[in-house]
Amino acid sequence: MKLHYLQFAIAVTGALAVTAQAGADDKLVVTGTDSKQTAISIADVSRITFNGDKMKIATTKGDLDYQLGAIDNLAFDLEASAADHIETSLRDDITLGISGGILSVSAPAGVPLSVAVYNLKGVAVARHTGFENISIDFNPMAPGIYIVKANGKTIKFTR
């Protein structure tokens, strides 16, 4: 039982790193063994501490105390966010841009382009060659991390 509490404490403590980047709608949701849920704004949480079989969540609105044995689940309800309009240069002559889930690779007139996209298993999920401009639509692809290789330069893209 102590191991269970220790694992629980480690998970909560590690997850608190999220609070530094918490959005306005991000919540910590505590579900009791009675199925009652309490949603707490992560922005209001200043500290979570453990003492024996108790957990205390200190917030700007007061402290909340829980018996660990009465907690069925502890989850973070986070609002996903990502930058949608990004542009960068891989080299002086090649520009990479992402907008609306579509990756565009551009080069000056006459410069050949070779773009390959790999999932984290190393499987190529897209390959394109051409001149001046290549577009790859990530919208139909599964959410995840992709490695994009364009003319020998490599970047990581998260969808």
pLDDT in single tens digits along all 159 residues of the chain: 444 444 444 444 444 444 444 455 788 889 999 999 999 998 899 999 989 899 999 999 999 999 999 998 888 776 655 555 566 666 668 888 888 888 889 988 888 999 999 998 889 999 999 998 999 998 899 888 888 888 888 888 887
Phi–psi pair at 85, nearest 5 degrees: -125, 100
Angle at 17 between CA 72 and CA 86, to 5 degrees: 120
The label of the residue with tokens 């979570």 reads: 48
Q: Write out the residue limits of the CATH 2.60.40.3080 domain(s) in the chain.
A: 85-158
Show the DSSP H helices in the chain as ranges: 2-15
**Within the chain, which residue ranges are assigned CATH 2.30.30?**
2-77
Q: Tell me, which fold does domain 85-158 have in CATH?
A: Immunoglobulin-like (2.60.40)
Residue 49 and residue 28 in contact, taking contact as beta carbons nearer than 8 Å: no
CATH of domain 2-77: 2.30.30
